[in-house]
Structure 1
């Protein structure tokens, strides 16, 4: 079987591997490598293993779930010892801005304290490795473009953009980025960092914009559009992000950060209207779905615009997105229409019925 991993990388620990991006990473490595996968996840409200379980018995045999909350330092250290990894990819995070507005403490505990606990556990593991394994070992920390704050009408984020987080979520991720960088410079821990733009695609928990719009429209319910709908995001298809993460994790320069964006700048209103147009084609009985678009009060502290300049990862590592937004969105809409039962199941399990959250600033 062809491998996406270099020689010597046989045991991979992914934190947050039952989440959206982490799950996509676990599925890719199970399907296209022979590595043994250790999936450290606290199995919170948005966690789900269905996509991994659908890969079949051979892949599932190489997948081991370690149900651990990173805020538990002792359990985290024990999980790292059990996994004995050659590569750690740290994707576990509380990531929904709206939820961070209502409950910021959870984000500080998970994203800051959890990252600290992981760094300490990984550092102890790395320092105890024999020399040949030490040379191959890496920790890859995955973060967000939201740490950079809000852009005006022009310009794009890059690796030299000053940090300027505006929400409890982005502030907690900024703190975790700084911790990872400090453990590299102070202790020599071999790390790589990436900051990505908004991800979308199959298996995303239906609280984020694109799945929310699809499910609201299918149900004939009002589609909430925050404020004037002109807030701009740079949309990145999740499989393209996985491509970038694997390149950064295995070929990136130690101590270096890489910004990953999908060349997909669109306003929220444009995204919502594009989803409605696709649904008009696929479910004409409900057309025009755009009639359901309903402006609502804007989110507190809503950043106006994000955009990423991915020149570094493109020139140094050869990464380019394989999907444009139109292709990726069509594939995403079709996936959700074919998996409405899954959406119902995960929302019911999480006790979330699609209601708006994050308005209580």
Structure 2
């Protein structure tokens, strides 16, 4: 199968590219190479005859259409997105342009290709989204997001992703485009761009800097190891039911404070300080505007219909992640000078 993967030089997209090539798929990586992208993320497959790269901004409809015409993919996996909530608070416009209009451009290009090919039944447009479109959950851990949970986005980022989800469903219902959708919980793992919580904590700890935790650290997230997520995405692409959505979760709920304390314990073991614990660097900071209290995924549908579930616990995944950052200093140091990295964003609301 020939896959066109948008955002394939990003964190999750690159994990999909690496796994897809390993499974023997042809992969066209379509990426604009914005601040959060890095071609080093796919260096391990760059020389493969199965891999091709196209530097294309999905906001450019003509460039997107031309890429579809050149490569004629059998399926699209759409991961390209502006995704940092704090950046969406400071500058929502680019989130609307990329996540909404960019998705529209891709849907139109995919629809045109699909119709030109005679509407093949095997064609798929797989739209990858987030659990943040569902809003915030109560503290009761028996309550989780299902595929039927009403949308209630709370940030410019989640609102833009909710909009793109609606577009994808509309193109299926109106034009018959064969789509599948997935909504995932928080990802972590190797190649995580160093502005997100887990890499911030690891790198600040190593640098002797404060470990910032928003509010009182009670906000809860369900953590999904990125390589598990990539495996789930390829499973849904190949075996998911057309028109159906699947929630992908790690079954690993942790509060932000619990998560940071676990990271500190791993670092204490793998890279001990001369004195004390990395937990001594924990610092509570002013909360993010509109910070959702809790996200949690009910993965029953993907487990029962497709037989998928995560392979690692959050403790195992965090250990692998810390080990990866300790062993790949050249990768993360090269990204630390990019715009906004290392600065507190999202405080202008």
**C-alpha displacement of 1:62:** 2.3
Task: Find the counterpart in structure 2 of residue 274 from structure 1.
Answer: 262
User: 1:150-209: CA deviations, max 9, x gaps?
Assistant: 000120000000000000000000000000000000000000000000000000100110
Match of 1:26 among 17, 21, 36: 17
**C-alpha displacement of 1:22:** 0.4
Match of 2:35 among 30, 45, 50: 45
Task: Say if 2:292 is the partner of 1:303.
Answer: yes
Unaligned runs of 5+ in 2: none
Match of 2:6 among 12, 15, 19: 15
Query: Is the partner of 2:121 in helix, strand or coil?
Result: helix
Match of 1:67 among 48, 52, 55: 55
Task: Say if 2:134 is the partner of 1:120.
Answer: no
Task: Find the counterpart in structure 2 of residue 5 from structure 1.
Answer: none
Query: Is the partner of 2:30 in helix, strand or coil?
Result: strand
Mapped to 2, the partners of 1:190 and 1:130 lie a distance apart of 13
**C-alpha displacement of 1:56:** 6.5
Mapped to 1, the partners of 2:46 and 2:33 lie a distance apart of 21
User: 1:35-64: CA deviations, max 9, x gaps?
Assistant: 32111111000101113213463x2x3221
Unaligned runs of 5+ in 1: 1-8
**C-alpha displacement of 1:82:** 1.2
Mapped to 1, the partners of 2:227 and 2:29 lie a distance apart of 18
Task: Say if 2:310 is the partner of 1:324.
Answer: no
Task: Say if 2:71 is the partner of 1:80.
Answer: no
**C-alpha displacement of 1:137:** 0.6
**C-alpha displacement of 1:351:** 3.1
Task: Find the counterpart in structure 1 of residue 303 from structure 2.
Answer: 314
Mapped to 1, the partners of 2:244 and 2:101 lie a distance apart of 22
Q: CA RMSD in A?
A: 1.1
Mapped to 2, the partners of 1:268 and 1:227 lie a distance apart of 10
Task: Say if 2:244 is the partner of 1:244.
Answer: no
Task: Say if 2:26 is the partner of 1:36.
Answer: yes
Mapped to 2, the partners of 1:149 and 1:188 lie a distance apart of 29
Task: Find the counterpart in structure 2 of residue 4 from structure 1.
Answer: none
**C-alpha displacement of 1:224:** 0.5
**C-alpha displacement of 1:360:** 0.8
Query: Is the partner of 2:290 in helix, strand or coil?
Result: coil
TM-score, normalised via structure 1 length: 0.94
Task: Find the counterpart in structure 2 of residue 177 from structure 1.
Answer: 165
Confirm or deny: 8 A CA contact 2:46 2:52 kept in the other structure: no
Task: Find the counterpart in structure 2 of residue 3 from structure 1.
Answer: none
TM-score, normalised via structure 2 length: 0.97
Mapped to 1, the partners of 2:341 and 2:311 lie a distance apart of 33
**C-alpha displacement of 1:335:** 0.3
User: 1:73-126: CA deviations, max 9, x gaps?
Assistant: 111111111120001000000000000000000000000000001000100000
Task: Find the counterpart in structure 2 of residue 148 from structure 1.
Answer: 134
